Amino acid sequence: MADKLDILAVAAHPDDIEITCGGLLIKETHRGRKVGALDLTQGEMGTHGDETDRAREAKNAAELMGLTFRKNLGLPDSALDDNQEYKLAIAQVIRDTKPELIILPHWNQRHPDHSACTRLGYDACFIAGLKKAALSGEPHRPRKIIYASYYRNNEYSFLVDITETFEQKCKAVAAYVSQFGKSGAEGVIADRFKPPDTSNKDIFAPGISIFELMQVRAMQLGQLVGVRYAEGYSIKENILIDDPQKMPVKSI
């Protein structure tokens, strides 16, 4: 039986979590919280690397982020759908680890696995709290679900300052050598906006590495709230504020 977690991030493929919410996860581990990751597939349909590479890289990335739990459900890559069996598998992990906060992918997605993950994850949170569900262990329903931004949504409910953890987030992403090449994060961190080393794999656009993309995005979001680097998150319910005078970020 796994230890109780404070936070569980759920994503479709190994490396999704690092890229989208790695900064927050590392920040939470620095606060002493127990943080875990659940990858639904092994990313076996990806062009680069195989399951063995991805599993080893995911383990290294988990260590770099300070995670206390990481599991891969081995569901079929590029074939995730609204399936009760998958929901129960995720719900069982939620029951086993009892997180209070769940991080799912934002619902607006290009990759069908990412949108399926959002729906499966939400339903699994619901099912995990049902007493009569076909699951072992005590019912547990996470108190809060937040949605990490990928690259399609550009509206956010809130932004998280990741200035202190951005560099470590880049190192965790760089652990996926099969996906992003050997030159990794160093080029971007040490030498900002230098064109990437040619050994970097340009998976998003020619000449643009994942690290440049993450940096530009995090800086753009950070600029909106007066910090160096930020990550964007969405929620479906409202935020309750007790004292508007204490709200951070100046209007003018």
Contacting Zn ion within 161-220 (CB under 5 A): none
- Tokens of residue 175, six digits: 């652990």
Choose between 13 and 201: whose C-beta lies nearer to Zn ion. 13
Q: Do strands 144-148 and 101-105 pair parallel, antiparallel, or not at all (unpaired)?
A: parallel
Cβ burial of 129 (10 Å; 0-12, 13-18, 19+) is middle
Choose between 16 and 212: whose C-beta lies nearer to Zn ion. 16
CA-to-CA distance for 9 and 25, rounded, in angstroms?
A: 8
Choose between 13 and 140: whose C-beta lies nearer to Zn ion. 13
Taking the complex as a whole, how short is the minimal distance between the CB of residue 174 and Zn ion, in angstroms?
A: 17
Q: Does 54 bind Zn ion (CB under 5 A)?
A: no
Handedness of CA 122, 248, 163, 210 (dihedral sign): positive
CA-to-CA distance for 28 and 26, rounded, in angstroms?
A: 5
Taking the complex as a whole, how short is the minimal distance between the CB of residue 182 and Zn ion, in angstroms?
A: 21
Taking the complex as a whole, how short is the minimal distance between the CB of residue 170 and Zn ion, in angstroms?
A: 18
From 5-13, 74-82, 159-167, 177-185, span contacting Zn ion (CB under 5 A): 5-13
Nearest by Cα to 90 from 54, 115, 121: 121
Handedness of CA 161, 167, 170, 171 (dihedral sign): negative
Q: Using an 8 Å Cβ cutoff, are 100 and 92 in contact? A: no
Closest residue by beta carbon to Zn ion:
13
Q: Using an 8 Å Cβ cutoff, are 179 and 15 in contact? A: yes
Choose between 16 and 57: whose C-beta lies nearer to Zn ion. 16
Choose between 6 and 77: whose C-beta lies nearer to Zn ion. 77
Binding pattern to Zn ion, positions 7-36, x when CB under 5 A? -----xx--x--------------------
Q: Using an 8 Å Cβ cutoff, are 186 and 215 in contact? A: no
Taking the complex as a whole, how short is the minimal distance between the CB of residue 32 and Zn ion, in angstroms?
A: 29
Contacting Zn ion within 127-146 (CB under 5 A): none
Choose between 12 and 162: whose C-beta lies nearer to Zn ion. 12
Q: Using an 8 Å Cβ cutoff, are 40 and 76 in contact? A: no
Q: Do strands 35-41 and 158-161 pair parallel, antiparallel, or not at all (unpaired)?
A: unpaired
By CB under 5 A, how many residues form the interface with Zn ion? 3
Taking the complex as a whole, how short is the minimal distance between the CB of residue 75 and Zn ion, in angstroms?
A: 13
Choose between 12 and 61: whose C-beta lies nearer to Zn ion. 12
The residues of the shown chain that bind Zn ion, judged by CB under 5 A, are: 12-13, 16
